Structure formats: structure tokens, C-alpha cells
Amino acid sequence: MSANNHNDVIWKKSALSAASGNCVEVARLGEGRVGVRDSKDRSGPVLTFAPGAWDSFVGGVKSGEFDI
């Protein structure tokens, strides 16, 4: 994780986010990287995924790999 110095990107929050604001935001950071941050702490840390890692994570979510 790194300090949030990604102010020049467009952060997006899911339309299905909880009304309480308990959600994350994602942004394309360039060079195929994707950033994820807590929407309640926009100046906090950003988890950065490499392109292949993000694609694998999204694929796992879609396939139900993380369902409990």
C-alpha cells in the first residue's frame, strides 16, 4: 500500500454501495495498474494491483471463488 497521491485519476464507487458508505473505490492508475481505496478515507492508503493480478481477482469474484 502507498499513501494516496493519486488525486489526478477518476475514482469510481459501485452503484450497489451500501447507503452507510461502507465501500471501496477503484481507479485506473496508468500502465494497467488499478488502485483500490476506502471511500471514507480518501487521503488514506491505496492498494495497488498489477494488471494481471487485478484481472485474476475480478475473474475470481465473477466465478464465485471468494463466496463463503
Domain-wise residue ranges, the chain: 2-8+23-63
| DSSP tally for the chain: helices H, then strands E | 1, 5
* pLDDT tens, position by position, 18-38: 666 678 899 999 899 999 998
Predicted local confidence at residue 5, as pLDDT: 58
Q: In this model, does residue 3 exceed pLDDT 80? A: no
Average pLDDT of the chain, as a whole number = 85
| CB burial readout 33-55, b (16+ within 10 A) else e | ebbbbbeeeeeeebebbeeeebe
* Whether the predicted pLDDT of 40 surpasses 80: yes
